[in-house]
Amino acid sequence: MSHVALRPHHLLCLLTFAGRGYNPAFTANLEAVAARIGQGAPIVIVDGPDDICAPLLADRTAHCRHADVVARDRRAACDVEAVLGHPVEAGVTLAFDRATIARMRAAFAGGRLRSGCAGCGWGAFCSSLAADGFRAVRLHAADTRTRGAVSVGRR
Ligand code: SF4
């Protein structure tokens, strides 16, 4: 299965995606990305705009390229590294299996994966989803196999 390219803070956004987004094209694409990852597609970390940003990039002023969003990636990467115990940088491959998603959601709900969310307009919404036990979210791993959480190497 082909990989999904993701910038670090979108690892958090996937945990809380509940079918809402910036516009219909963005939301439909994110639904498809979440479905692919749930079916086992590996995630490859990238710097800057990624497969989730793609529908917004025709707009040259899209916030995806802004410095504050790049800074959000750095904060999110540090948090995810601390939770998973592995580097999160461009070229790293992550498998979002069920155990990894559960671990990350527990950390998100506990506040240990939230520094990347600072200043995000969706913050209260994502907090409410976490407080509700992530019942409304879209990403669910299709199986419980351990696919190997992380491998490191530039692609
Ligand atoms: S608050 Fe913003 S950055 Fe954090 S998970 Fe939600 S959408 Fe993503």
Average pLDDT over residues 42-57: 97
pLDDT surpasses 70 at 149: no
The reply to whether ligand 1 has any atom less than 6 angstroms from the CB of 16 is yes
Over the chain, what is the mean pLDDT? 92
Burial of 43 (0-12, 13-18, 19+ CB in 10 A): buried
Position 141 scores a pLDDT of: 87
Average pLDDT over residues 120-147: 86
How far does the centroid of ligand 1 lie from the alpha carbon of residue 127, in Å? 9
Position 33 scores a pLDDT of: 97
How far does the centroid of ligand 1 lie from the alpha carbon of residue 146, in Å? 26
In tens, the pLDDT along 13-48 reads 999 999 999 999 999 999 999 999 999 999 999 999
Please name the amino acid found at residue 23. Answer: N
Position 62 scores a pLDDT of: 93
What's the length of the chain? 155
d(CA 38, CA 112): 23
Minimum CA distance residue for ligand 1 atom 3: 117
Between these two residues, 7 and 150, which has the higher pLDDT value?
Answer: 7
d(CA 87, CA 99): 18
The reply to whether ligand 1 has any atom less than 6 angstroms from the CB of 107 is no
Q: 2: helix, coil or strand?
A: coil
Model's pTM, two decimal places? 0.92
How far does the centroid of ligand 1 lie from the alpha carbon of residue 137, in Å? 13
In tens, the pLDDT along 96-120 reads 999 999 999 999 999 999 999 999 9
